[in-house]
Amino acid sequence: MGRLSYREGMRQALREALAGDPRVFLMGEDVGRYGGTYAVTKGLLEEFGPERVRDAPLSELAFVGAGIGAALGGMRPIVEVMTVNFSLLALDQIVNNAALYHHMSGGQFSVPLVIRMATGAGRQIAAQHSHSFENWYASIPGIKVLAPGTVEDARDMLAPALADPDTVVIFEHAQLYNMEADVPEARNTDIRSAAVRREGKAVSLITYGGSLPKTLEAATQLAEEGIAAEVVDLRVLRPLDMATVLASVRKCRRAVVVDETWRTGSLAAEIIARIAEEAFYDLDAPPARVCSEEVPIPYAKHLEEAALPQPAKIVAAVKAALGR
Amino acid sequence: MKIIDAPPSGPVPYEREFALKLLTDMLRIRRMEEKSAELYGEGKIRGFLHLYIGEEAVAVGALHALESRDNVVATYREHGHALVRGVTMEAIMAEMYGKQEGCSRGHGGSMHLFDARARLFGGNAIVGGGLPLAVGLALADKMQGVERVTACFFGEGAMAEGAFHESMNLAALWRLPVLFCCENNLYAMGTAIERSESQTDLCAKAASYDVPTLRADGQDIVSVHETTQRAQREVRGGRGPFFAEYRTYRFRAHSMFDAELYRDKREVEEWKTRGPLHTFSARLKAEGKLTEEEFLALDREVGAEVDRAVAFAEGGTWEPVEHLTRGVYTNTETEREGT
C-alpha cells in the first residue's frame, strides 16, 4: 500500500464510505469548503457535492442532534465535531438521545451514527482547546467509543463503526494527524479488541490514542536499559477489551496505564480498578498511572509539556513499579 | 395571561363523523389520564406523570391534520399524542405500569412512549431535546426523496433553550420539512412566560428565522385543526419549516409533585371555562350533531376502553430482572452487554 499519514488514512476511509453507500453523508463545521479544520475532509466536497459533504453552522447541539435524527430516519451520517472541547455543547444529544434511544424505546429504534472528533493537547492552544474527555464518553452505556492510535486503525476502523447499528464516537488525537506509517492494504478490522503493539514481559503499558506513540517511545528507551515493556493499545474504549489487558498484566505482573485525561476519574482509574478487581493476586507491584496533571492545560510550552504524559514520565513510572 | 378570550364558539365545519372522531379522541385522552392520576394515587403508576388535561385539543386537532406516514416527535407530556397516533391505550397503560407489554417495554414509562409503527419518536423528557432530532428526521427524508412532514411538539419553555434556536436556524437554512408545534400553555413548570421570555410573541420570535408562522387557539379544536392543515400543506409543498403556536392551558399541576404555588386558582378556574372538551361538545349539540344521550354513550364506550387498558396493564408481566443488561445495544437482546 505504501506510506500514508493518519489524516490520509481517515480521508481514504471517508471517501470509501461515501462512495460505497448512498446513505452515508458528512456533516459538521467547515468539513466542506474549508476542507476540514484538520484537513481530513479536504477534496471530498468536490468529489461528493454539498448535499453529502454538508457544512453546518456553529450549532453543535443541533447538528449532532440532526445526525441522530437522520440516523433514525434511515441515513448513515458521519458527524464531525471539530474538537472534543466543542462536543460539550452537544453532550445532551449524545448522552440523552443517541445513547438512550435503543433501550428507552424498548428496542424499537437504533441510532446508527458515527461522531468523529479531534481530541487532546500538545499544540500550545491553551486550556479551552486542549481537553481530553474520552473517559466521560467511555462511561456511557449505549454508545461505543474508539480511539485509533495508528495510521492503519485511522483508515480501517471507520468501516466497522459505520456498519455498527449503534452510535460510535471516534476520537482522533490532533497530534496524530501528521503521523506517517507504511501500511498494508486496507483490511477488515474489528471494533471489539485491544492490540498488543509491542511484546515484553517486565511491565504492561496500557494506553490508547495520542499517548500510544509516547508510550512506544518510552518502551524503546526502557529496552535500551534492558527492561522489556509490553504495550497494549486499547483501540476501543467502550466496550473495553479487558481480556487482552488482563492477559498482558498477568504475564508481566506489573501495570502502568498511560492516559491523557485528567487523573481523577480518568480512564486509567477505571482500568486500574478492574485490574485490582480481577488480577490483584497476579500483581507484583501496585498498578500505576501516568495522566495529565490536574491543571488547566497552560499555553506556555514548558508548562504544557509538564502537564501532559511524556515518555520520561512513563519511564519513571515503570522504574518505580520495578523498584529501580 | 390574566384576561382570557371568550370560550371557543361558532360553527364546526366538519361532517358529523369526523367531528365525533375528534371529540372521541379528546375524551379518550381525558378519561385515560384521569384514570392514570387515580392509579398514581394508588401507587400503580410511579415516577413522573405529566397530565395533558386541558390541552387535548392541540394533540387531537394537530395530529388529525397530519398523515400516518408523517413523523411525530413529542415531549414528556405525550400520552395524548401517542394515543391519537394509534398507540393502543393498553400499550400506553402497560408502559405507565412498567410492564413489558408496554409500548416501550416498560423501559421508558410515562415520559418515553415510543412506537416505530406509528412513527412516534418519543416521548423526550429533556426540554428542547426533540427539536434537533426532528430536524435530522426531516433531513433524512429530504435526502432520500421521501415526501413526509416531521411534526415536532414542544412547550413554550423550550423556546428559551438553545436547542430551539439552533434547530429553527438549521431547518430554515436547509429548507427542511419540519412542522414546529409549540404548545404554549403559559408555564414552563412553574415559570410564567413573562418571566422567561424577553419576547412573549412567540410567532415573532420564530419569524426571525425566516420561518412562516401561524397562531391557533389551542382550546378550540377547529382552530387547531385548520391551522395545522394550512401549516402542513406549506411544509409538504417543500418550502421548508413552519412554526405553529397553540395557545393552551394546563388544567392540572405540572406533575404529581407540583403544589401549584405559582398560579392563582381563579386563573385556573377561568381557563376551565375554555375547556376544549365541553366547549366542543356544546357546539356539536347546538348544531344538532350530538345529543346528550349520544355523548353519554360515547363516554361509556371510552370508559370501557379505559377499563380494558387497566385490565391489560394489571395482567401484564414484569421483565425478568435477569434481562436487566439486555438491549442496551442493538442485536444484543440475548447476550450480556460488554462494558
- Tell me the three cell numbers of residue A288: 500505576
pLDDT digits (tens, 9 = 90+) for B295-312: 999 999 999 999 999 999
Which of the residues A25, A76, A91, A108 would you substitute to probe the B interface, choosing the one with the greatest number of B C-beta atoms within 10 Å? A108
> Which residues pair with residue A290 across a beta bridge?
A258
- Does the CB of A74 have a partner CB in chain B at under 8 Å? yes
In a domain, B293, yes or no: yes
Indicate the DSSP class of residue A32.
S
Interface of B with A in 213-232 (CB under 8 A): none
Q: What are phi and psi of B292, to 5 degrees?
A: -60, -40
> How many structural domains are present in chain B?
1
What residue segments make up the domains of chain A, in order of their start?
2-183, 195-322
Interface of B with A in 137-156 (CB under 8 A): 137-141, 143-144
pLDDT digits (tens, 9 = 90+) for B172-214: 999 999 999 999 999 999 999 999 999 999 999 999 999 999 9
Residues B289-295 have a mean pLDDT of 97
The answer to whether the CB atoms of B112 and A107 lie below 8 A apart is no
Residue bearing cell 429504534: A109
pLDDT digits (tens, 9 = 90+) for B243-287: 999 999 999 999 888 999 999 999 999 999 999 999 999 999 999
- Tell me the three cell numbers of residue B191: 415559570
Residues 6+ apart with CB under 8 A from A91: none
User: Which fold is adopted by the domain A195-322?
Assistant: Rossmann fold (3.40.50)
Please name the helix (run of DSSP H) or strand (run of DSSP E) that holds residue A169, with its range, or none. Answer: strand A168-173
Quote the pTM value.
0.96
Question: Given this model, what pLDDT does residue B331 score?
Answer: 84
- Tell me the three cell numbers of residue B34: 384521569
- CA distance linking residue B183 with residue B189, whole number of Å: 13
Residues B109-124 have a mean pLDDT of 97
Tell me the CATH number for domain A2-183: 3.40.50.970
Residue B70 has pLDDT above 80, yes or no: yes
Higher pLDDT, A242 or A2: A242
Q: Is A60 a catalytic residue?
A: yes
Residue B339 has pLDDT above 60, yes or no: no
pLDDT digits (tens, 9 = 90+) for A15-71: 999 999 999 999 999 999 999 999 999 999 999 999 999 999 999 999 999 999 999
Residue bearing cell 486542549: A130
Give the CATH number, domain containing residue B183: 3.40.50.970
Nearest CA to B89 out of B49, B36, B142, B39 is that of B36
Helices (H), chain B: 16-41, 56-63, 79-84, 89-97, 130-144, 162-173, 202-207, 221-236, 265-272, 276-286, 292-315
The answer to whether the CB atoms of A96 and B122 lie below 8 A apart is no
Domain range for B91 is 16-323
Cβ–Cβ under 8 Å, residues A56 and B167: no
Question: Given this model, what pLDDT does residue B257 score?
Answer: 87
pLDDT digits (tens, 9 = 90+) for A220-277: 999 999 999 999 999 999 999 999 999 999 999 999 999 999 999 999 999 999 999 9
Mean pLDDT, chain B, as a whole number? Answer: 95
In a domain, B4, yes or no: no
The answer to whether the CB atoms of A108 and B126 lie below 8 A apart is no
Question: Given this model, what pLDDT does residue B1 score?
Answer: 44
Among residues A8, A29, A80, A129, the one annotated as catalytic is A129
- Closest residue in B to A59 (Cα–Cα): B166
Residue A302 has pLDDT above 70, yes or no: yes
Say if strands A114-119 and B242-247 run parallel, antiparallel, or are unpaired: unpaired
pLDDT digits (tens, 9 = 90+) for B126-151: 999 999 999 999 999 999 999 999 99
Higher pLDDT, B191 or B5: B191
- Does the CB of B169 have a partner CB in chain A at under 8 Å? yes
- Does the CB of A28 have a partner CB in chain B at under 8 Å? no
Q: Which residues of B193-229 are buried (b: 16+ CB within 10 A; e: fewer)?
A: beeebeebebbebbeebebbbbbbbbbbbbbbbbbbe
The answer to whether the CB atoms of A66 and B139 lie below 8 A apart is yes
- Does the CB of B48 have a partner CB in chain A at under 8 Å? no
Among residues A8, A29, A60, A152, the one annotated as catalytic is A60
- CA distance linking residue B163 with residue B160, whole number of Å: 9
Rg (alpha carbons) of chain A, rounded to whole number: 19
Q: Is A131 a catalytic residue?
A: no
Q: What are phi and psi of A241, to 5 degrees?
A: -90, 80
Domains A2-183 and A195-322 share a fold: yes
Question: Given this model, what pLDDT does residue A1 score?
Answer: 65
The answer to whether the CB atoms of B132 and A107 lie below 8 A apart is no
Cβ–Cβ under 8 Å, residues A162 and A76: yes
- Closest residue in B to A105 (Cα–Cα): B104
C-alpha distances out from residue A116 to A77, A167, A188, B142, B270, Å? 11, 11, 19, 24, 53
